[in-house]
Copies of this chain bind each other. A is one copy, B any other.
Amino acid sequence: MATVSFTCDYCEGAHPSILEALARTNLIQEQGYGEDRFCRSAKEKIRAACGCPGAEIYFLVGGTQANSTIIDAMLRSYEGVIAVQTGHIAVHEAGAVEFSGHKVITLPQHFGKMDPEELESWLRGFHADETWPHMVYPGMVYISFPTEYGTIYTKAELGRIHGICKQYGIPLFIDGARLGYGLASPACDLTLPELAQLCDVFYIGGTKVGALCGEAVVFPRGNVPPHFFTTVKQHGALLAKGRLLGVQFDTLFTDDLYFKISRHAIDMAMLVKEHFKDRLYIDSPTNQQFPVLTAEELKALEGKVLYEVWEKLPDGRFVTRFATSWATTEEQVKLLVCGQYAV
């Protein structure tokens, strides 16, 4: 009886279609650095999926890399980026944004989300403060969709945040490391084309949604910063064999695969959510679920099910995280929810 892991959404390799495509195209000679036919094809398909014919698209390898490269490219050197306190760039990227010289300015989080009114109030306060020239200028807003707590913004909330950004003349950046799992949620009232209209740059996460690696960075209205290719190289983020990313995204955006596998992960997550429904820390509509478990319950899972412990509550129970993914099988979920593995 093997251990089943729900620790994260990057426990397996890639969707089999991707491995097949890599094998099929393997010996075709192509140029490096993203100038290959696979990247071109993938970009066309992504433009279509986003409804953005003028979008500029770049493929980077991972999330932290994408975040720090995009942020550094879009900010002037005296500017910082606004995020919530639990934003990935504020906590779990080892200071990659600061490494590029920029401050992460933090606002309170609400189940991982930024409150539009708090953002507006902060920006208004900044500009009203006479000492602002002594402070880091807010040059961008960063949000993640879904957030680190699995929550998502409604169309109205996203529109409000984007409107505030436009009012203050700063771009809105959406970290979409788990974008598929957000858009595929039944609770989501946004489509990919709508999301693309409501921000200035975002990326479509591949690493956590079926790929071996890769994030597709989309500048929806061709608003790519000058010399972005050079900035990518400068950040050590330019892949020599760009085809590796091109083939993967070309596959993910063929026959709606990206969304199909995302929906599957959500289906699996909803089974997990249902199982733990009376003890959820957060009402997450996406692939990450946060049951609150007792020490005894953790004990019962030992050696059978893997998950992450998020934090210990004052009452001695533990906030845990169970993540599903494109690779999670019904059988695995059943072991957790109704098999010998259940708690």
Contact = CB atoms under 8 A, between A and B. Distances in A.
A77 B243 contact: no
A105 to B, nearest CB: 9
A135 B78 CA distance: 23
A138 to B, nearest CB: 11
B14 A30 contact: no
Given A16-B26, A23-B19, A234-B95, A62 B240 contact: yes
Interface stretch (A3-11, A44-52, A261-269): A3-11
Contacts of A300: none
* Interface SS of A by simple majority: loop
A237 B94 contact: no
Interface residues of A, number: 78
B10 A94 contact: no
A78 to B, nearest CB: 5
A22 B25 contact: no
B96 A244 contact: no
A281 to B, nearest CB: 17
A141 interface: no
B92 A131 contact: yes
A312 to B, nearest CB: 9
A98 B97 CA distance: 9
A301 interface: no
A136 B208 contact: no
Interface in A123-167: 131, 133-137
B23 A235 contact: no
Interface string A225-265: 01101110111111111011000000000000000000000
Interface of A: 3-5, 7-8, 10-14, 16, 19, 22-23, 25-32, 61-69, 72-73, 76-78, 80, 91-96, 98-104, 131, 133-137, 207-208, 212-213, 226-227, 229-231, 233-241, 243-244, 306, 327
